[in-house]
Structures are given as C-alpha cells and as structure tokens.
Amino acid sequence: MQENSHTSSKPSSSVWQNIRSFYRSIIKHDGQGILVPLFGIILIGFFNGYSATYTTTLQGGDNWKPFWFLLGKQLVFLGAGILVAWRFYLFDYRKWADSKVQLKMFLFLLFLLLIVFLPFLGHGANGARRWIGLPYGMTLQPSEFAKLAAIIWAAYSIDRHVKKHGRMYLYEYYDWGGNTRLHGLWSWWNRVIGKLNALWKALRGTPGIFHPNLLVPAVFTVPFVYAFITMFQPDMGTAVLIFSFPVIMTFCVGYYKGHRKYLGIAFGVVLAIAYPLIAFVSYRLDRVRAYYDPWSDTTANGYQVTQSILSVSIGGFWGEGFTKGISKYNYLPEAHTDFAFSIFSQEFGLLGVCLVIFLFLWFTKYGLSIARQSRDLLGQVLAVGLTFFITIQAFFNIAMVVGMLPVTGVPLPFISYGGSSLVTNFAVIGILLNIARRNEYARKQIGTTRHLPSIGEETRHRFQPKA
C-alpha cells in the first residue's frame, strides 16, 4: 500500500515540475511575468464591459448612450492606453529624479485639475465637477492622473530625502524664515508654534518640541495640493488615495525609530481634519450611515449598496452565465463603472471572483519582485508605489462592492469602464516594465563573461616598447 501511494505521488509531482519548467521557459523575468495576469484582467474587463453595457441599447432616455458608442469609446482608450504604456516603457524611470521633470509635471497637473472648474471646459455629472469635456462626447478626469503623479513625486522625494539624511524622518528642517517674501508667513507660523509649545508644556510639563522651521517632508507637499483640489470637485475617495499612496510608500521605506512615537499625533491630526469633512457634508455622512446599516434604508441611501450585495449573492458558486445577469437591467446604478465587479460576480459566481482576486495577487507578486530586484532606491520605491496603485484600488473597489467599505468613486483597474482610469493604469504598467527592463539589463551586465588577461599578458602589454 505504501509503495503504491509513493509511486502514485511521483507522476503528479513530475507533472507539476514539468508545468513549472515550461512556465519558466516562457516567462524568463518579472517584466514578462507581470504581463500574464495583466492580460487576463484586461480580457475579463473587456468582456465584462460588453455584458454590462449592451443593455443600454434597450433603454430609453437622454442619459443612455448606445452600446456601440460606449464600447467604442472604451476601445479607443484601450488603444490609447497601450500607446501610453509603450511610451512610458521607453522612458528611463531614472529621469523622474530630475527636479525639472517634476516641476513640469506638477504645473501640468495643476493646470488640468483647475480646468475642471471652468464653466466652458469643465464637465459635471451627479453633482460633481471632475471632468474636462472633449470632442465626440469624451471626457478626461485629471484626478486619475494626479494619483500617478503623486506616486512619482513621492518616489522622487523619498529618494532625495534618504540620500540627504540617510534615513526617512517624519519632519525636515527648512530655514525659510530668512526669505524676505515668506517672512510674514513665517512670523505668523512662529506665533502658532509658540501657542502649540505652550499647550504642550501645560499638558506634559515639559518644553514644547515644535519649531517653526520643522515641517513635514516634501514627499507630502505636492500630493496634498493634488488631494486638496480634488476635494473641491468633490471626490473624497480619490483625494484619500492621492494622499495615501505616498504615506504607504514612506512606511515601506521605514521611519527613523525616534520619530515613530509621533506617528500617533500625525494620525490624530488627520482624523481631526477628516471628521468635519464627513460629519458636516450630508451626502458623505449618508454614505457612512449606509455603510454601517444599508438595510435600514434600501430605497434611498442604502439602495446602491444593497443592490450590489444582492448581485454578488445571486451569482452563487457557478454564476448565472455570461450576459445573463439581471442587475444591469436598471437595477444597479453605475453597473458598468464603479460596480462592474458586481455584474461580473453575478454572472461568473464565486469561481470568477476567486479568479479575479488571484490575478491581482499574481500581479502584486511580480510587481513587488520588480521592486525587490531594482538596483537603486528610486526604482524600489517607485515600483512598490505603482504595484500598490493597482492592488489597493482593486481592494477598495471589491470591498466597496460587497459592503465592507463605504461607497466611493474608486474604479476596479482594467475592469471598470472609464477612459482616464484605463490610460493611467497602462501608464503604471509602462513604468513598471521599464524598471523591470533596467533590472534585467543590469543583471545581464553583471553576468557578462569576457576574457581576463593573465599577469604575463598584462605585463607584456604595459611594458611593450613603443615603435
């Protein structure tokens, strides 16, 4: 019996080894490996977009676009995204360390973010003004680009900060009080710091630790500007992501041990700022209440959440079949955008859900491997941020769809309908592939073999008399 079990395990192990060897013969480095799950996610997104939007041809009203137009626009952005990915793939990621490149990108993004507020260029929908109107009914959402720009800026700032200080500090020293143009602002800030130190001494009995020249690292300044403008569009979910990505990247680098005790204070300040932004804005407070108990108001505030949960649950284990889901028939709002995963779950069931999650985890594995093999800090931090750009948004969207997080405007990468999001995701892939390309090039350079001259050959060469 033992011999039979032992011999029967050999074929299965040999088959698995053959599969692994075949896979490794095709996928020779991380840049190729990351394309495999990416292709699967894009394919799922295309077919799911087809299923979620073809019902629009059966609907009436001015708010519905024909199916061919919606799918055609997505194909246009898919082609544009591939071109953008190729352009970023050819662009050496080390050029992001140039301060002039960062300044140009900041001014360009600032220009796009402010254009949306202009009446003749900005485009509004559902009480928000987040888009720039383009010909042929297309729109552009600059806040999607701001998420990527915040990550690139954060990688540049962290690389510069660590090279300057040797480690990551929670604050930096800036001697900006001597600037004549900023002296008035510095004087006001000095009075604020004096009051904070007095409050610290009254509470703790020790001298205050604050100084007017001690400010937060530059890694947070530009993302804060992007997030601040995005809040007024209004789009709090995107604003949170814009600021969260740099924070996560700094935690991956690791703070100086002596400053970790102040992280709680920083977190408390963030909560103090976030509370009035939620508590005193009615629609945000309604979303939080719907998240806490969506079933108490299934006809208004909790309608979208409950319909999404029902769509996922109806799918069961096997799903109802491709194009056979019923929730997209005007039951679930935004079925092809923010809640595209609900339609996919209903039609492909738990098996399809596990497949999508597996593909995103597969993508994360190769993305972090690219970061680990990078030869410089800029490439490491940038690859980590770009990998989490895809993964965290996927987590947010899936968690929102099943009611684990409040409803936000965070799309599911490569699956949710949306041109700006799709192009930005392809730009992320292009930069990741460029980092992987540089890693592979450096590895080949290190492993290159050449003839090394012997001592005798070297001596004859150096002391050979001149003709």
Whether 317 and 358 share a structural domain: yes
pLDDT-derived band at 126 (thresholds 50, 70, 90) equals: low
Question: Which of 209-218, 242-251, 444-453 is predicted with the least confidence, judged by mean pLDDT?
Answer: 444-453
Whether 75 and 142 share a structural domain: no
What is the CA angle 96-100-101, rounded to 5? 35
Q: What per-residue confidence (pLDDT) applies to 446?
A: 57
pLDDT digits (tens, 9 = 90+) for 35-60: 999 999 999 998 888 887 766 555 54
pLDDT-derived band at 4 (thresholds 50, 70, 90) equals: low
How far, rounded to the nearest angstrom, does the alpha carbon of residue 68 sit from its chain's CA centroid? Answer: 29
Dihedral angle sign, alpha carbons of residues 396, 400, 403, 407: positive
- In the chain, helix, strand, coil percent, each to 5? 70, 5, 25
Contact partners, residue 166, CB within 8 Å, separation at least 6: none
Q: What per-residue confidence (pLDDT) applies to 340?
A: 87
Contact partners, residue 230, CB within 8 Å, separation at least 6: 113, 130, 143, 146, 238, 239, 242
137: in domain: yes
Question: Which of 240, 258, 280 is at the close of a domain?
Answer: 280
pLDDT-derived band at 459 (thresholds 50, 70, 90) equals: very low
318: in domain: yes
Q: Please count the other Cβ atoms lying within 10 Å of the Cβ belonging to residue 258.
A: 9
Whether 265 and 358 share a structural domain: no
For residue 452, what is the DSSP state? P
Whether 260 and 112 share a structural domain: yes
108: in domain: yes
Q: What per-residue confidence (pLDDT) applies to 454?
A: 47
User: Which of 363, 423, 381 shows the shortest CA–CA distance to 88?
Assistant: 423
Contact partners, residue 113, CB within 8 Å, separation at least 6: 142, 143, 146, 226, 229, 230
Whether 276 and 407 share a structural domain: no
Q: What φ, ψ does residue 445 adopt, rounded to 5°?
A: -65, -40
Mean pLDDT of 273-300: 82
Q: How many residues does the chain have?
A: 467
Q: Please count the other Cβ atoms lying within 10 Å of the Cβ belonging to residue 427.
A: 23
Q: What per-residue confidence (pLDDT) applies to 205?
A: 83
463: in domain: no
Contact partners, residue 232, CB within 8 Å, separation at least 6: 117
- Of the chain, the end-to-end C-alpha distance in Å amounts to 84
Mean pLDDT of 150-159: 94
Predicted confidence (pLDDT) at residue 152 exceeds the cutoff of 90: yes
**Cα separation, 413 vs 408, whole angstroms:** 14
Predicted confidence (pLDDT) at residue 453 exceeds the cutoff of 70: no
**Cα separation, 182 vs 173, whole angstroms:** 16
Kindly state the helix (H) or strand (E) to which residue 139 belongs, with its residue range.
Answer: strand 139-140
Most confident option among 48-62, 104-118, 440-454: 104-118
SS3 181: coil
CA atoms within 13 A on the CB side of 459: 3
Tokens of 197: 């130190």
pLDDT digits (tens, 9 = 90+) for 216-256: 777 888 999 999 999 888 888 899 999 999 999 998 888 87
Check residues 28 and 164 and name the one with the higher pLDDT: 164
Question: Which of 259-263, 301-305, 388-392 is predicted with the least confidence, judged by mean pLDDT?
Answer: 259-263
pLDDT-derived band at 327 (thresholds 50, 70, 90) equals: confident
Mean pLDDT in the chain? 82
Predicted confidence (pLDDT) at residue 88 exceeds the cutoff of 70: yes
Q: What per-residue confidence (pLDDT) applies to 1?
A: 47
Instruction: Give, in order, the Cα–Cα distances in Å from 311 to each of 182, 253, 346.
Output: 56, 40, 5
Whether 230 and 332 share a structural domain: no
86: in domain: yes
Q: What φ, ψ does residue 339 adopt, rounded to 5°?
A: -110, 30
Whether 108 and 72 share a structural domain: no
Tokens 């999001």 belong to which residue?
421
Mean pLDDT of 409-421: 88
Whether 259 and 328 share a structural domain: no
Mean pLDDT of 113-119: 87
User: Which of 216, 225, 221 shows the shortest CA–CA distance to 266?
Assistant: 216
Q: What per-residue confidence (pLDDT) applies to 63?
A: 46
393 is in which domain, residue-wise? 41-90+310-444
Whether 338 and 410 share a structural domain: yes
pLDDT-derived band at 447 (thresholds 50, 70, 90) equals: low
* Single-letter amino acid code for the residue at 117: F
- pTM equals 0.84
Contact partners, residue 47, CB within 8 Å, separation at least 6: 322
In this prediction, what percent of the chain has a pLDDT beyond 70? 87
Whether 151 and 120 share a structural domain: yes
- Helix axis angle, 419-446 relative to 340-372, nearest 10°? 20
Domain count, the chain: 2
pLDDT-derived band at 86 (thresholds 50, 70, 90) equals: very high
Q: Are 388 and 371 in contact (CB under 8 A)?
A: no
pLDDT digits (tens, 9 = 90+) for 340-398: 899 899 999 999 999 999 999 999 999 999 999 998 999 999 999 999 999 999 999 99
Question: Which of 239, 265, 280 is at the close of a domain?
Answer: 280
286: in domain: no
**Cα separation, 156 vs 164, whole angstroms:** 12
116: in domain: yes
Whether 241 and 112 share a structural domain: yes
Q: What per-residue confidence (pLDDT) applies to 462?
A: 46
Whether 164 and 112 share a structural domain: yes
Tokens of 356: 């999508």
pLDDT-derived band at 108 (thresholds 50, 70, 90) equals: very high
Mean pLDDT of 114-122: 84
233: in domain: yes
